[in-house]
Amino acid sequence: MPFIPGLLEAAYAAGRTGRHLIVVWMDGGMSHLDTLDPKPSAGADIRGPLEAVRSSLDGAMVTEPLSGLGKLLDRCCVVRSITSPEGNHDRGSHYMLTGRRPSPLLTFPSLGSLVARTVQPSSGVPAYVAIPEAHEYARQGYLPARFGPFDVGGDPGRPDFSVRDLDPSPGLESTLSAVEMLRAIQGGPRSKDEASREFFLGQAQAISTSRHVQDLFDLNKERPEIRQAYGRHRLGQSCLLARRLVEGGVRVVLVRDQGWDHHVNIGQALTYGFPPRLTAMNQALSELILDLERRGLSEKVTLLLATEFGRTPRLNPSGGRDHWSRASSCLLFGAGIRRGQLIGETDDRGEEPVFQPVSPADVFATLLRAMGLPADERLQSPDGRPVPVIDPHATLIEDMLA
């Protein structure tokens, strides 16, 4: 068994808080200086091309394209002092998404999979969904495959978007009847592997035959004005889909927004395009927060906006910023999270934390606590070693918790 059976019950019990999680992952390394931690007093080579504006959270500023989101920060918790030694995309992502520094021997389970573990299998609704697909390190790691994410694929921002292969093929009922008959002829599962495959086949059948589950993935079921409010772009519609899914029973949704690795001309990369990246972020995140509140979901759903690392304070000769793991920011909102909380501070150049430095492991551990999961649980690695769910050196960020 890849996990300790006795602890599974404990995990289920802990999971009864029923909290859901949405992770918006800015893939590539979102610049902290150009988003949640601008340095308006620094020189132009550090400040960058974007203006900073005050937010509704005391002491926190955002860059001007994020001013809408800035007005909502008094409902959120902003962490500006994440510091990590991992400045490579893979390693940084592993650290942030699993709460563990990478090991050459073990890929750790992601936050999403750890939460998905606590969900009793139900008819058809996947426990963990990734939009459009999960990062390599947002998967189940060494846990069984059933705790991994279901990747929807495609681009939710496209008018013709639909999740692949959900609609039942013609004659599916007939096929499923034959499958049942064959089971009677050939016998049931004869091993754990056969039982696991049966589980996924059963889940696929349930999804294919459940209008409710198919509707969850159908953005056309949303009113046009709501779709418009989130923004008719990839990030906006992804966030809307995430809200639909958690509202419909999915426990964890990961929205992966790729393309944040801005080594060249970062000002232009963030503010031009269709739509400009920061404009899309501002619109999507703001509307997601407001929508969760309007629907009474802010006490049931925890939201995390995160990335693998920050970017170099000084603009490089190409006008871009390179990888910088000594300082980065994240934003949290919703269930279990203290409202209007600002954690940590970086120096005048945004180089490193000068107050309340925290590690990705600290954020991870605290988020698990906010989700109501046990912090002292141990899993068993495939080779039989006991592995604590949380990095033993992680420290709880008390100020982050409601």
Partner 1 sequence: MDRGRCPAVSISSHRRMKIRSESAVSANGSSIQPVAVMTLIILVLSTLLSPGSEPALESPYKAGPGWDFRTDVLPVLASSGCSSAECHGSATGRGGFRLSLFGTDPLADYDSITRGSFGRRIDLRNPAQSLVLLKPTRQIPHEGGEIFREDSTQHAHLLAWIRDGAPWRSGPEKSIRSVTLEMTPSHRLRLTGEFSVGGEGPQFFDVSVMAAFSSTAPAVASVDATGLVSVNGPGEAYLIGRFAGLTHRIAFREPFGPAGLAGTDAGAPGNFVQSSPMDAIWAECLNRTGLSIPSRAEAWRVARRLYLSVAGRPPFPEELDVFHQLVRNAEADADTDPLDSAVADAIERALSSPSYDTRWGHWAAEWLEVKVTPERPDSGAMGRLESMLSERVARDGSLLDLASEVLGANRDFSYLKRYADPRDRSEFVGRALLGVRIGCARCHNHPDDRWTRMDHLGFSAAFSNFDLEQQGSYQSSFSKTPVLDIGKTPSNYPGMMAGMQSGNFKTDGDRLYLPGTGHAVEPVLLSFEEGNKGLKSIPAAGAHDSSLAGWLRNDARLQFSRNIANRIFGHLTGFFPVSPEDDHRSSNPALYEPLLDHLAREFEKSGFRLKPFIRYVAASRLFQMGGADEEEGSLPSMHSYQYLAAWQPVPLDVFAWTQSLSSVLGVPLPPLETQENPLSMQLSLLNSGWIERILRIPGNQFEALGLFTADSDRQRLVELYRMLFSVELDDALAAALLETVSGGSAKPLTGDQWEQLFKALVLSPEFCFVR
145 binds partner 1 (CB under 8 A): yes
Among 197, 221, 294, 295, binds partner 1 (CB under 8 A): 197
Instruction: Report the residue from 45, 58, 90, 167 that binds partner 1 according to the rule CB under 8 A.
Output: 167
By CB under 8 A, name the one of 103, 228, 318, 395 that touches partner 1.
103
Instruction: Give the separation between CA 114 and CA 399, rounded to whole angstroms.
Output: 23
Output 103 or 220, the one with its CB closest to partner 1.
103
- Hey, CA dihedral for 137, 143, 145, 151, is it positive or negative? negative
Task: Tell me the closest approach of the beta carbon of residue 386 to partner 1, in angstroms.
Answer: 7
5, 6, 159, 170: which one binds partner 1 (CB under 8 A):
170
Q: Kindly tell me which residue out of 9, 159, 191, 317 binds partner 1, with binding defined by CB under 8 A.
A: 191
Q: Does 179 bind partner 1 (CB under 8 A)?
A: yes
Verify binding: residue 171, partner 1, rule CB under 8 A: yes
Question: Which residue from 35, 98, 110, 208 is in contact with partner 1, where contact means CB under 8 A?
Answer: 208
Structure tokens, 307: 């990335």
Q: Residues 6, 188, 296, 317: which binds partner 1 (CB under 8 A)? A: 188
Q: Which of 27, 64, 74, 151 binds partner 1 (CB under 8 A)?
A: 151
Q: How far is the CB of 180 from partner 1 (least distance, A)?
A: 8
**Of these, 5, 6, 190, 225, which contacts partner 1 (CB under 8 A)?**
190
Answer yes or no whether residue 200 interacts with partner 1 by CB under 8 A: yes
Closer to partner 1 at the Cβ: 9 or 383?
Answer: 383
Number of other CB atoms surrounding residue 382 within 10 Å: 11
**374 near partner 1, rule: CB under 8 A:** no
Q: Does 187 bind partner 1 (CB under 8 A)?
A: yes
Quick one: three-class SS letters along the chain? CCCCHHHHHHHHHHHCCCCEEEEEEEECCCCCCCCCCCCCCCCHHHHCCCCEEECCCCCCEEEHHHHHHHCCHHHCEEEEEECCCCCCHHHHHHHHHHCCCCCCCCCCCCHHHHHHCCCCCCCCCCCEEEECCCCHHHCCCCCCHHHCCEECCCCCCCCCCCCCCCCCCCCHHHHHHHHHHHHHHHCCCCCHHHHHHHHHHHHHHHHHHCHHHHHHCCHHHCCHHHHHHHCCCHHHHHHHHHHHHHHCCCCEEEEEEECCCCCECHHHHHHCECCEHHHHHHHHHHHHHHHHHHCCCCCCEEEEEEECCEECCCCCCCECCCEECCCEEEEEEECCECCCEEECEECCCCCCEEECCECHHHHHHHHHHHCCCCCCCEEECCCCCEEECCCCCCCCCHHHEC
Which residue of 107, 162, 205, 268 would you call a contact of partner 1, by CB under 8 A?
205
208 or 298, CB closer to partner 1? 208
In the bound state with partner 1, the residue whose beta carbon lies nearer, of 12 and 200, is 200
Interface region with partner 1, contact rule CB under 8 A, candidates 185-193, 288-296, 299-307, 343-351: 185-193
Quick one: which of 176, 226, 290, 396 contacts partner 1 (CB under 8 A)? 176
Distance (Å, rounded) from C-alpha 266 to C-alpha 314? 12
Q: In the bound complex, what is the minimum distance in angstroms from residue 129's beta carbon to partner 1? A: 10
Q: Which residue, 223 or 393, is less far from partner 1 as judged by CB? A: 393
* Token pair of 355 as six digits: 């107050």
Note the Cα 82 to chain centre separation in Å: 17
Q: At its nearest, how many Å lie between partner 1 and the CB of residue 338?
A: 26
Q: Which of 16, 158, 192, 294 binds partner 1 (CB under 8 A)?
A: 192
Whether 328 and 363 have beta carbons less than 8 Å apart is answered as no
Residue 384 interacts with partner 1 (CB under 8 A)?
A: yes
Residue range at the interface with partner 1 (CB under 8 A); choices 101-109, 234-242, 279-287, 326-334: 101-109
Specify the residue for token string 């050196």. Answer: 393
> Smallest gap, in angstroms, from Cβ of residue 46 to partner 1?
27
Residues that bind partner 1 (CB under 8 A): 85, 103-105, 126, 133, 145-146, 148-151, 153, 164-172, 174-183, 185-198, 200-201, 203-205, 207-208, 382-386, 388, 392-393
